[in-house]
Amino acid sequence: MNFVLDTRLVFGRQMRLALRNPVWTVISLLQPVMFLVFFGPLFASVFNRGLTGGAGNAYGYFVPGLLIQLGLFGSASVGFSIIADFRYGIVDRLRVTMVSRLAILAGRILRDVVVLLVQSVMLILVGLAFGLRAPVTGILIGLGFIALIAVSLSALSYGIGLLTKSEAVLASGLNLLIMPIVLLSGIMLPLTIGPGWLQGIGSVSPFRYIIDAMREAYVGNYGGAVMVEGISVAVAMALICLCAATMIFLRENSR
């Protein structure tokens, strides 16, 4: 019970900080919106000519990729905040309180999930204005995937940030991690139109299975192997990242 109450306390504090400075929430949303506005019409033209090997609504294919991109760049950068908190002594002050150590991590991650979901809904609304058509159930399933991505990447970012305590190291690590994911997950264009060797390399990216499942949901296909693979990969990734971040957090807070 103390863990739940402490998590609510930390979550409330983190949400208040986010609401006091909403400009960063809007700024992080600008990149995928610009892709939607400026790249979306070009993608729709290519898609509608059948050059992507897909069928159906172009924005129903494109928007899930933008949601993944939003989660990648948004959730993966939250580790910078815990580095700042550590530098200013906030983490040390929390250590001497009765607040659960895991609640400090869980409250932050919960805040990140809420912020990313709000941003995702805003992006989906913009997508609807451009022609996105998807069933409500599919959109909700997609938001579930986004929540799992937020848990995974936020936990990983906090763990790396607390472990390195360096913005430079974290930034380099994020660039090294995110860029291959963006290129090898089929976020912008499906890897099925690429050569076999590229598809083989892309098969190791967990986000490829997640984006494929989200696109299936957006066309109303809720069963099948693609959806099972996507859900399994998303849940497994969230659990692995949470366990890794928890071990780092407990070790660092025991010093």
Three-state secondary structure of 63-132: HHHHHHHHHHHHHCCCHHHHHHHHHCCHHHHHHCCCCCHHHHHHHHHHHHHHHHHHHHHHHHHHHHHHCC
According to DSSP, residue 194 is labeled S
Nearest to 218 by CA among 116, 146, 110, 113: 146
pLDDT of residue 50: 66
* Nearest-10 Cα torsion for 106, 112, 114, 115: 160
- 53-77 b/e with 16+ CB inside 10 Å = b? ebeebbbbbbbbbbbbbbbbbbbbb
Helix (H, G, I), strand (E, B) or coil at 199: helix
CA–CA gap between residue 74 and residue 131 (Å, rounded): 25
Q: Residue-wise pLDDT tens for the chain (255 aa)?
A: 587 888 888 888 888 887 877 776 677 777 788 888 888 888 887 777 665 544 457 888 889 989 998 888 888 888 888 888 777 777 767 666 666 778 888 889 999 999 999 889 989 998 998 888 889 999 999 999 999 999 999 999 998 888 888 888 888 888 888 888 888 888 877 777 778 888 888 888 889 899 999 999 998 888 889 999 999 999 999 999 999 988 888 776 655
| d(C-alpha 103, C-alpha 98), whole Å | 11
For residue 95, the model assigns a pLDDT of 66
Structural tokens at position 50: 């059948």
Determine how many CB atoms are found less than 10 A away from the CB of residue 98: 6
Question: Structure pTM?
Answer: 0.88
User: What is the C-alpha separation between 188 and 51, in angstroms, rounded?
Assistant: 13
Query: Amino acid identity, residue 255?
Result: R
Nearest by Cα to 238 from 152, 158, 177, 116: 152
Question: Could you state, in order of their start, the residue ranges of all structural domains in the chain?
Answer: 2-253
Phi-psi region of 224 (alpha: psi -120 to 50; beta: other; left: phi over 0): left
